[in-house]
Amino acid sequence: MPQIMLLSMLLFFVLTVPVAIAVGLANMAGVAWEGRMTFLVIAQQLYAALDKYPLVAVPFFILAGNLMEAGGISSRMVEFAKSVVGGFQGGLACSCVLTCMIFAAVAGSSVATTFAVGAILIPAMVRHGYPRPFAASLQASAAELGVIIPPSIPMILFAVSTDTSVGELFVAGLGPGLLIGGALMLYVWLYARRHGLGLQDGQGRLRLWPALRQAWLALLMPVIILGGIYGGVFTPTEASAVAVVYALFIGLFVYRTLSLRDLSKVLHRSVVSTAVIMFIIANAGVFGFLLNRAGIPAALGAWLGEIFTSPMTFLLGVNAALFFIGMFIETSASIVVLAPLLLPVALHFGIDPAHFGVIMVVNLALGMVTPPFGVNLFAACAVAGISLEKLVRPLLPFVLVVMACLMVISYVPEVSLWARDLVYR
């Protein structure tokens, strides 16, 4: 049965069938081939895969990100970031990364971050002389931070799939997010100086105090969300609802940039995005159930235990495999299917579950910016109005920067665990 499921799923991928449908059809092929189960099992497991309380946070964080974009919160975050780091050569490009880091602390989605921040900063960078492909590549890469810096939807999915603490994963993602954000800013600063870009980046930006006065309510949002989670005031799931209420209140009654007509569009976009993710999760849950029933996790664990003799070689192999998988399979589906298979092996090698979860999320986040199926690339191309082919060359250095950070995160556990141990130990 597992062989039929894997082969059929790969065949559907080659035929460009959408990921969720491909996984669902592979599930049906596996059940039909096995012969001892009815298709009623699929219906039961579809429900079981979604019947998990932490998943409630997914639609709320998606809605919060869309409300921030429509309600003017993201534009004020951009102006604040420009006032902080936009005054030197290459500062506008650095402000793109900083804005993504701030926006990521609420939205939890890289695609939402790409659209919300890119719609403002990609045209601004082009006006200041940055090549359009470079600006789009930077935005797509920086938006990865939307799933690394907490709160993060993929981290919620990892926690649900492996019975790991969502709170510990969120805190563990803080250090890697800051590391990757800092490395991207360093690279774009050096790139701007070498190529003579961004000489006029300081023009038109607000000074720090006026920008802070204009944006303080927007900046208070991630403080409330992360402070509430880390302080034990509310759970990560409850924090998602708080984010929605806060963004809705600020957009409707304080900034007054969000109308009821806009709200209808925001709700529609959020429902569509949520349905896509949930459909993937449900079908991937069935896929995982059938593989577990066939004994694949135990067999895979024994096989990997024989191949890899140390945590270092195991992590190297996992990183290489996940990077390749992330190029072709959507991040949510990869996590839900692979996390239950790989975590037991990681535990065998003494790797902390929160550390391994961060490694998986960061690695698969690279798949969001690598062809052929990088969702951030398609979003950035749509915002910038250019073809995907023009992004490949300027994108390569950004991928290498994130890969270098991934190696540090993998082999220096303290990058992920220092904050977790500070809060939870």
* pLDDT tens digits along 203-253: 667 787 888 888 888 888 888 887 887 777 877 778 888 888 988 998 888
pTM above 0.85, yes or no: no
**Token pair belonging to 149:** 């810096």
What is the number of domains present in the chain? 2
Tell me what pLDDT residue 187 has. Answer: 94
Are residue 183 and residue 276 in the same domain, yes or no?
A: yes
Tell me what pLDDT residue 407 has. Answer: 95
Tell me what pLDDT residue 372 has. Answer: 59
The pLDDT tens digits for 148-203 are 888 888 888 898 888 888 888 988 999 999 999 999 999 999 998 888 887 776 66
Residues 6+ apart with CB under 8 A from 380: 114, 118, 122, 136, 137, 139, 140, 143, 391
Are residue 111 and residue 3 in the same domain, yes or no?
A: no
CA distance linking residue 207 with residue 80, whole number of Å: 9
One-letter amino acid identity for 37? M
Are residue 24 and residue 74 in the same domain, yes or no?
A: no
Tell me what pLDDT residue 305 has. Answer: 67
Tell me what pLDDT residue 353 has. Answer: 93
Are residue 84 and residue 60 in the same domain, yes or no?
A: yes
**Owning domain of residue 65:** 44-424
Exposed/middle/buried for residue 263 (C-beta within 10 Å: 0-12, 13-18, 19+): middle
Are residue 30 and residue 143 in the same domain, yes or no?
A: no
On whether the CB atoms of residues 261 and 35 are closer than 8 A, the answer is no
Are residue 226 and residue 179 in the same domain, yes or no?
A: yes
For the chain, the straight-line distance linking the first and the last C-alpha, in angstroms and rounded, comes to 43
Chain position carrying tokens 């990865």: 144
CA distance linking residue 323 with residue 365, whole number of Å: 9
Are residue 388 and residue 268 in the same domain, yes or no?
A: yes
CA distance linking residue 64 with residue 135, whole number of Å: 25
Mean pLDDT of 296-323: 78
On whether the CB atoms of residues 112 and 146 are closer than 8 A, the answer is yes
CA distance linking residue 22 with residue 238, whole number of Å: 33
297 — pLDDT class (breaks 50, 70, 90): low
Are residue 364 and residue 350 in the same domain, yes or no?
A: yes
Are residue 114 and residue 32 in the same domain, yes or no?
A: no
Are residue 233 and residue 290 in the same domain, yes or no?
A: yes
Are residue 6 and residue 126 in the same domain, yes or no?
A: no
300 — pLDDT class (breaks 50, 70, 90): low
Tell me what pLDDT residue 409 has. Answer: 95
Mean pLDDT of 301-323: 81
On whether the CB atoms of residues 86 and 95 are closer than 8 A, the answer is yes
Are residue 189 and residue 310 in the same domain, yes or no?
A: yes
Establish how many alpha carbons lie within 13 A of residue 350's alpha carbon, considering only the half-sphere containing its beta carbon: 6
The pLDDT tens digits for 93-128 are 888 898 888 887 777 677 777 877 887 888 888 888
Tell me what pLDDT residue 37 has. Answer: 80
Phi and psi, residue 88, nearest 5°: -120, 170
Mean pLDDT of 396-403: 92
